[in-house]
Amino acid sequence: MTARGDTFDAAAEQRLDQMIGTLLRLGVLCATVVASAGGIVFLVRHGAEPPAYGVFRGEPQDLRSLRGIVADVLALRGRGLIQLGLLLLLATPVARVALTLVAFTRLGDRRYVVITAIVFGLLLFSLLGGPS
């Protein structure tokens, strides 16, 4: 296999696989640490409160935007940390597609660049293009 055109050599493929694996492991690890820290903070502050299962309460307004989540994280609020952990978990596969797009571009594999760019565009549209 060659490094140009439709395919690339085994060494390049192995390096890409290792980079993707590392990215996915780090993304999940960071998301787990942040969400767990948020859970601990939340339980320390609110763990003794009785739950009100009879009343539905959606997420507070401050947790529905990135700006509000960041503000809650900076204030060390448990829910904000949990929400940031979830965002990191969602961002991990998106970052994987972005990494493969860059890798395929550098390798000159036009077919995979086009396919990956379409997938990346669809992911971004589904995450950012909908109503807020």
**Residues 106-120: pLDDT tens digits?**
888 899 999 999 999
> Does pLDDT of 84 surpass 90?
yes
What distance in Å separates the CA atoms of residue 65 and residue 43, rounded to the nearest whole number? Answer: 23
Q: Is residue 9 part of a domain?
A: no
Task: With respect to residue 77, please indicate whether it lies within any of the assigned structural domains.
Answer: yes
pTM of the model: 0.80
The tally of domains found in the chain comes to 1
Evaluate whether residue 22 is within a structural domain.
Answer: no
* Residue 14 domain flag: no
Any domain includes 100: yes
Measured CA to CA, the distance from residue 126 to residue 57 in angstroms comes to 25
Residue 48 domain-assigned?
yes
The angle subtended at Cα 123 by Cα 118 and Cα 128, nearest 5°, is 125
Residue 47 maps to a domain: yes
With respect to residue 18, please indicate whether it lies within any of the assigned structural domains: no
Q: What is the number of H-type helices and E-type strands within the chain?
A: 4, 0
Q: Judge contact between 84 and 34, C-beta under 8 A.
A: yes
Cα dihedral across residues 54, 56, 59, 60: positive or negative: negative
Task: For residue 73, give its domain range.
Answer: 30-128
Using a pLDDT cut of 90, give the percent of the chain over it: 61
What is residue 3's predicted lDDT score, i.e. its pLDDT?
Answer: 46
